[in-house]
Amino acid sequence: MIRLSNIEKAFSHGVTKTYVLRRIDLDIQQGEFVSIMGPSGAGKSTLLHILGMHDQSWGGEYYFDDVAVHLLNPRKRAELRNRNIGFVFQSYHLLDDQTVSENLELPLSYRDVSKKDRQSIVCDTLDRFQIVGKKDLFPSQLSGGQQQLVGIARAVVANPRIILADEPTGNLHSSQGKEIMDMFKRLNDEGTTIVQVTHSETNAAYGNRIVRLEDGWVVKD
């Protein structure tokens, strides 16, 4: 599904260069649950954002379903991303002034889904995540766990083939974290590929593969 070859990312400071990622080669198959681990500053989140096609400035080759992402212009990359990828953030990143159902509707509105279909998909998703009762609440009226649940619901609402999650339980206490990881597991079991960045061995244990990064290098896969 995903093939990274010799991916590098660096920041220039005058004549010197600081590498964040070095010669990353990585294959991710459809249906895998991959955990990217490593110390702070290892390049985990950067790698995730390259996978998610948010980061445009890197070197190397990136193939998504044999499509050469590194050769696509930003617009084509965005189309590819919108068709296939969902995101879950550590800080949930729900929009404060939008209700739960409006937050869920947001990704669909960027994918030219008709209003009628959007409403139907949002209803199904609310039902699936058992948050129908919360649909008219604003994020500030939810607990952290509930907010992250909405964050995951929002990530899957457009039916992505892969979910990229950046420290999804980082802001939650352990019982809420467990619920979230159970949800990821369930999604993975249903066929969605999951790639998560995590510091937690427990969370990594939900997956079937761990990629370890240190100083930008893959040290263990």
Partner 1 sequence: MDSLLRDLRFSFRSLLKRPALTIITILTLALGLGANLTIFSFVDTFFLRPLPVQKPYQLATVTATRNAELVWGYAYPEYAYFRDHSQSFEALAAHYSTSPLSVVADGDSREASGAVVSANYFPMLGIKPLLGRFFLPEEDTVPDRDAVAVISYRMWQDRFGGAPSIVGKDIRVNGTDFKIIGVAPEDFRGVSAGFPNEIWIPAMMLRLGYRWCDGLNDLGCRPLTLLGRLSSGRTLADAQAELNLLASQFAASYPENKGRGASISPALGVRQEGRQELSYQVKLLMVLTGLLLLIACANVAGLLLVRGTTRRKEIVVRLCLGAGRGRLVRQLMTESLLLALAGGALGLLLSFWAKDLLLAFYTLGNGTHDRFYELSLNPRVLAYSFALSLLTALLSGLMPALSATRQNLATGLKDDGRAQSSRHHRLRSALVVGQVALSLALLVAAGLLIRSARQVRQGANFDPTHVALLRLRPALLEYSPEKAQTFTREVIRRLEAVPGVQSVSLATGSGGYAWLSRDDVRVRLPEQTGDRPESELEVEYHEIAPRFFETLKMSLLQGRDFNDGDRPGSPRVIIVNETLARQMWPQGSPLSRTLMVNNQPHQVVGVFKDAQPRNALEAPLPFLYLAVWQDPKQIDSRLVVRVASDPQAMLPLLRREATAVDPRVPISEVMPLTQQMEANYVPVLLTSNVAACSGVIALLLSMIGLYAVLSFMVSQRTREIGIRMALGAQRRDVLKLVVGQGMSLALIGVALGLVTAFGLSRVLASLLFGVSAADPPTFALIALLLAGVALLACYLPARRAAKVDPLVALRYE
User: Which spans of this chain sit near partner 1 (rule: CB under 8 A)?
Assistant: 45, 49, 52, 54-55, 75, 78, 81-82, 87, 89-91, 93, 95-97, 106-107, 110-111, 154, 158, 166-167
Q: Work out how close the CB of 120 gets to partner 1 at its nearest, in angstroms, rounded to a whole number.
A: 19
Specify the residue, 90 or 203, whose C-beta has the smaller distance to partner 1. 90
Biggest CA pair distance of the chain: 57
Specify the residue, 126 or 167, whose C-beta has the smaller distance to partner 1. 167
Q: Work out how close the CB of 195 gets to partner 1 at its nearest, in angstroms, rounded to a whole number.
A: 15
Helix (H, G, I), strand (E, B) or coil at 129: coil
Cβ atoms of 177 and 186 within 8 Å: the answer is: no
Specify the residue, 49 or 134, whose C-beta has the smaller distance to partner 1. 49
Burial class (CB in 10 A: 0-12, 13-18, 19+), 32: middle
Cβ atoms of 200 and 169 within 8 Å: the answer is: yes
Q: Is 114 left (phi over 0), alpha (psi -120 to 50) or beta?
A: beta
Residue 194 neighbours by CB under 8 Å, 6+ apart: 32, 33, 34, 162, 163, 165, 184, 187, 188, 207
Q: Work out how close the CB of 103 gets to partner 1 at its nearest, in angstroms, rounded to a whole number.
A: 9
Specify the residue, 72 or 106, whose C-beta has the smaller distance to partner 1. 106
Q: Work out how close the CB of 53 gets to partner 1 at its nearest, in angstroms, rounded to a whole number.
A: 10
Distance CA 35, CA 185 (A): 12
Distance CA 26, CA 199 (A): 20
Specify the residue, 24 or 94, whose C-beta has the smaller distance to partner 1. 94
Residue of 147, 36, 46 whose CA lies nearest to 98: 147
Q: Work out how close the CB of 93 gets to partner 1 at its nearest, in angstroms, rounded to a whole number.
A: 4
Specify the residue, 87 or 206, whose C-beta has the smaller distance to partner 1. 87
Q: Work out how close the CB of 96 gets to partner 1 at its nearest, in angstroms, rounded to a whole number.
A: 7
